[in-house]
Structure 1
Amino acid sequence: MSMAVHPNIPTVTSDLEPMRGEKLVRPFTRFAQLSSSGGLVLLACTLAAMIWANSSEWESYTHIFHEMEVHLGVGEFMLQHQGHMSLGLFINDALMAVFFLLVGLEIKREIIVGELSDVKKAALPIVAAFGGMVAPALIFVSLNMGHDSIRGWGVPMATDIAFALGILALLGSRVPNSLKVFLTSLAIADDLGALLVIAFFYTEHLNVEALGYAAVIVGVLVLLNRFGFKSAAWFLVPGLFLWYFVFISGVHATIAGVLLAATIPVNPRVEVSRYSRYTRAALDVFDESDDPTQDIRTNATQRAAVMQINENGRLVLPLLHRLEHALEGPVSFLIIPIFALANAGLHITGGIGEALFNRVSLGVILGLVIGKPLGITLACWIAVKLNIGVLGKGVTWRQIIGVSCLGGIGFTMALFIATLGFKTHPDYLDHAKLGILTASAISAPAGLGILLTCPPASEEQADDPDEPRDG
């Protein structure tokens, strides 16, 4: 979480008796604050999709997500996708662009001010992500060489950050904080690699004119950033047009989210010291305007002071952080679960053995279950031996192996790449989905089991930030 609530910072309602409405939503609020909550919601929607797709109502699942058309337009202008747009395509092309915007914001934050900004700290997760992408791809290619199913080589390359971090969160303070930082950085670097794969290898027919318009909009967004515009509207409105031109260009529309994220300002409008000085001055005005005969509804000066304090908060927080914070909830609890519901529903016909033991399913399963941990662990070992990177404080090689197994939880990004690679081969797509679900079901308990066998982290290692050490 980029802007999680700090437990030591009091709020104005900390010591107040909660209202009835607050009592009703308190269980949901507490659940949403859990580190594993997003992964649990995602898992629930995945199970719901599988049950629905294999129930007596499976035809309704197919109709709603893959046959029912969605019409977007203004007046006579209608947005089309090769003749029509199903609800599933709308989810994958439009809603998922918001998810990729959030991913892009996280990547930019990590590169500029986060763990990936320090070359020594960034080296290990970047090398690990590279190894964790190459090994699964090679395994898939070796099983599908000479067949048209080889288009799915990118499917087992991806790690699902929500699931992986959710599983790690279940261990709480048993694992050192540096291991959590490593997995987060690894997953973000992995996402960046997956985005490059989507952009360069899963783009078919290009509309050069549309790409030109998209490039012009990106240029305008860069200028807005350079000229000091800090309001979200200046970027999100052009971002809608950017999405449209990328959508009709042949490049997958979700890449627009990443391009937009790259142009979002990361610097605040005012410095912290200035914010503190002027906010305290506004608080002084608020206190001096206190009138026992009035309350906030009738005291215009106090209302103005509060509004200025809110504006000061907006100016001291970079737009990147504000957008990231605003998108985390909707993406985790709405967009990704809807994506899972629309794409994880696999209608299994015939024998399960036939569906599992074919080149596509085996390529995905072996790629994620064996290729991911092998590639990540081997890449880490080589990086440490060559002094390219260092293990974090308190991190053991057994923990690296456990985390690398969690990297085999492909899910969201893997499903997304599968829908791109096999959009004209529904049988291959079903086999890839089954492989992703099976591999994730194996990788999660395998990684968790290995990490549970590791000695608990000391209190200092569990709480302190990552400090590197030699392997």
Structure 2
Amino acid sequence: MAETDQRADPSSGDPVTPVVGMSVDTVGMLPRMQQRSQGLTQRVAATLAGIADSAVASAAVLVAATLLAILWVNSPIGASYDTFWHIEAGVLLGPYELLLDLKHWVNDGLMALFFFAVGLEVKRELTIGELTDRRRAAVPIVAAIAGLAAPALIFWVFNAGTQAAHAWGVVVSTDTAFVLALLALVGPKPGTRLRLFLVTLAVADDIGALTIIALFYTASLSWGWLGLGLVGLALIGLLRWLRVRRDGVYLAVGVLTWVAVYESGIHATLAGVAIALILPVYPPKREAVERAEAVTRAFRQSPSAESERLARRQLSGSVAMNERLQVLLRPLIALVVLPLFALANAGVSLSGDALAAAATSRLTWGVIAGLVVGKLLGVLLGAALAARTPWAELPPGLTHKQLGGGAALAGIGFTISLFIVDLALDDPALQDQARVGVFAASLIAAGLGAGIFFLGRADAALSGPPVELLRPVDPERDHIRGPVDAPLTLVEYGDFECPFCSKATGSIAELRRRLGDDLRYVFRHLPLEHVHPHARAAALASEAAAAQDRFWEMAGELFGHQDALEPDDLRAYAVTLGLDVERFEEDLRTRRYENRVDDDAIDAEASEVHGTPTFYVNGRRHQGAYDAVTLAAALQDSRPARQDS
């Protein structure tokens, strides 16, 4: 028998008792083996998460699955494709049996998770995201509506009176994942404004597509099962009202709700959307964060299984279930659900006969024309019409070529288009023709979008960086010192942790004394976080103070104490200024005004402003020194050509 004496573990100083039957050396290797195993697991998990978080990488996985499906169908073993996906599997529970083939388990089951994730994103954007700014969101929303209607109309023109006319839903949806991946590869730099526009458009587009699936692609309806599905949704709402935090409870009720909706005849994926729209989304609340901090501190002081369980529950409860589930599901959707969907649905024969049939098919050309032409025209016309109304505005810095390139990319209708092909068409030959149309349209739309972006970059290279102020001064939005109708305007993009911005405050003060009521001075945010780690927190603090009419006073404190911008310091400045400290801290904790700060920074990015301070004198970028004498001369010299901004 091996030795059983104790030896000290040099990494901890604690004695280690070897396991009987193992040598001391073997036991000493166990922690190292466990560490290596854990390290490998963590590296694999981090790699997979990185792929899922990258639009380009996740799209590449989807393309690979699509190509694999096409190669499979067109290989010598192509007949096994349909055979495999029609293998039946099911669940037997007493007298109840749910039996589906593998393709339907993917399309009705796994895709419910995809649509659940879409619903989570829609709910978040409506509650705390881009769709909360109704005026700014109105343009992409109207563009999305027009981008749903125009493709359907064009498809109907091609296929009216045919067996395929019912498949108009194939051309209505934009594939967000592919669009964002291509935007990252071929889109304009910088392109944040266009990306936000397309994300908002895609969310509105998804809402429209899901509504179309519910209204037009439900074959039959069982009211009894539908009633059970509604009871399931009501129970999920009750769990939310009771503030139940256990994900497993929601999962169990969600699965039963999915079964009821499936049996009702409504497409089961819509159950995922409905459940997602019920789940709560909110910024972190102060009380929950403080409780999580308290139980975490208790665990650190006295580690135990019970305190670990309490800490884990409290930490998860302090973040909205919507956001936790989005993070949890992202790798599963990107690396499992969508690739399996593509593998099960993208298999199309590319034989000579099949391609010849597609080339002469009204269905194929209707899909191509609907997605490529319809999406381009619909999005452009919808955006143009909305931007001309008083209740909507086009985001500043979004050029016509950028908008045209984005509208062209919107014609990539891969995932939901293939999904509706299976719902709308029963004839395998027609399904193949529609799939060929979807593939061809996606390739054409991608090439068209890339070409438009290339022309836009060529024009930008010839014209150089923008010199005009991108967004006019808005008295209801901007932070202004001086009369709002003053004849001279100075706009600064600044950073509260930037030492040059701090020095510039002296020049601004002298300039205001020189020019008096002839000057209005505007401050906009450009936190350079890569060099100033506290800049964003300081900007958020200034906005929280602005909500209590103390922006300029807080700005003075921040510029005057650039080496003290920690949370406790920010709170101390709020106390000094006599702010409602509880409200101030809540605004910081929830990052309530982050969109306001980001909006300024995105405007600066679109104007190719990369450093602080950067000044605009009467609407044009100022080059050179920014002492009071130089700025005063520049303001006076540009007075005759002053713009309204």
Distance 2:313 2:61 in 1: 34
Q: Could you tell me how far 1:286 is from its partner in structure 2?
A: 5.3
1:148 counterpart SS class: coil
Pick one of 277, 281, 294 that aligns with 2:290: 277
Partner of 1:191: 206
Partner of 1:465: 598
User: Which amino acid in the other structure matches residue 63 of structure 1?
Assistant: T
Pick one of 37, 57, 61 that aligns with 2:77: 57
Query: Is 1:42 aligned with 2:45?
Result: no
Partner of 2:333: 331
Q: Could you tell me how far 1:71 is from its partner in structure 2?
A: 2.3
Distance 2:112 2:185 in 1: 29
Partner of 1:78: 97
Sort the Cα spacing of 1:316 and 1:375 in 2 relative to 1 into closer, same or farther, 3 A.
Answer: same
Query: Is 1:240 aligned with 2:243?
Result: no
Sort the Cα spacing of 1:170 and 1:358 in 2 relative to 1 into closer, same or farther, 3 A.
Answer: same
**Structure 2 counterparts to residues 428-447 of structure 1, below 5 A:** 428-447=430-449
Q: Deviations over 1:326-348 (max 9, x none)?
A: 11110111001000000000023
**Structure 2 counterparts to residues 301-450 of structure 1, below 5 A:** 301=303, 306-349=308-351, 350=353, 352-422=355-425, 424-450=426-452
Q: Which stretch of structure 1 is more off in the superposition, 165-174 or 27-36?
A: 27-36
Pick one of 227, 233, 236 that aligns with 1:221: 236
Segments of 5+ residues of structure 2 without an aligned counterpart are 1-34, 467-492, 494-525, 530-596, 604-645
C-alpha contact (below 8 Å) 1:134/1:157 kept by paired residues: yes
Distance 2:95 2:191 in 1: 58
2:456 counterpart SS class: coil
Partner of 1:296: none
Q: Normalised by the size of structure 1, how large is the TM-score? A: 0.85
Distance 1:309 1:184 in 2: 35
Equivalent residues, number: 435
1:72 counterpart SS class: strand
Query: Is 1:153 aligned with 2:165?
Result: no
C-alpha contact (below 8 Å) 2:55/2:177 kept by paired residues: no
Partner of 1:105: 120
Distance 1:173 1:312 in 2: 43
User: Which amino acid in the other structure matches residue 240 of structure 1?
Assistant: V
Partner of 1:4: none
C-alpha contact (below 8 Å) 1:176/1:462 kept by paired residues: no
Q: Could you tell me how far 1:208 is from its partner in structure 2?
A: 1.3
Q: Deviations over 1:38-85 (max 9, x none)?
A: 2111111011111111111110111111x32122223453114xxxx2
1:79 counterpart SS class: strand
Distance 2:39 2:257 in 1: 44
Sort the Cα spacing of 1:86 and 1:278 in 2 relative to 1 into closer, same or farther, 3 A.
Answer: closer
Q: Could you tell me how far 1:90 is from its partner in structure 2?
A: 1.3
Distance 1:19 1:246 in 2: 43
Q: Normalised by the size of structure 2, how large is the TM-score? A: 0.63
Partner of 2:181: 166
User: Which amino acid in the other structure matches residue 377 of structure 1?
Assistant: L
1:41 counterpart SS class: helix
Distance 1:255 1:276 in 2: 34
C-alpha contact (below 8 Å) 1:406/1:443 kept by paired residues: yes
Sort the Cα spacing of 1:232 and 1:466 in 2 relative to 1 into closer, same or farther, 3 A.
Answer: same
1:348 counterpart SS class: coil
1:224 counterpart SS class: helix
Query: Aligned-residue CA RMSD in angstroms?
Result: 2.7
Distance 1:403 1:329 in 2: 26
Pick one of 178, 185, 193 that aligns with 1:178: 193
C-alpha contact (below 8 Å) 2:187/2:450 kept by paired residues: no
C-alpha contact (below 8 Å) 1:107/1:188 kept by paired residues: yes
Q: Could you tell me how far 1:25 is from its partner in structure 2?
A: 6.7
C-alpha contact (below 8 Å) 1:176/1:461 kept by paired residues: no
C-alpha contact (below 8 Å) 1:285/1:302 kept by paired residues: no
Q: Could you tell me how far 1:310 is from its partner in structure 2?
A: 2.8
C-alpha contact (below 8 Å) 1:155/1:415 kept by paired residues: yes
Percentage identity across paired residues of the two chains: 35
1:266 counterpart SS class: coil
C-alpha contact (below 8 Å) 2:225/2:260 kept by paired residues: yes
C-alpha contact (below 8 Å) 1:124/1:388 kept by paired residues: no
Q: Which stretch of structure 1 is more off in the superposition, 32-41 or 103-112?
A: 32-41
Distance 1:430 1:390 in 2: 42
Distance 1:231 1:166 in 2: 35
1:175 counterpart SS class: coil
Q: Could you tell me how far 1:275 is from its partner in structure 2?
A: 4.1
Distance 1:461 1:407 in 2: 32
User: Which amino acid in the other structure matches residue 87 of structure 2?
Assistant: M
Q: Which stretch of structure 1 is more off in the superposition, 458-467 or 306-315?
A: 458-467
Q: Which has the higher contact order (CA 8 A, sep 6+)?
A: 1
Distance 1:19 1:251 in 2: 45
Partner of 1:135: 150
Pick one of 452, 455, 459 that aligns with 2:454: 452
2:243 counterpart SS class: coil
User: Which amino acid in the other structure matches residue 286 of structure 2?
Assistant: S
User: Which amino acid in the other structure matches residue 392 of structure 2?
Assistant: G
1:78 counterpart SS class: strand
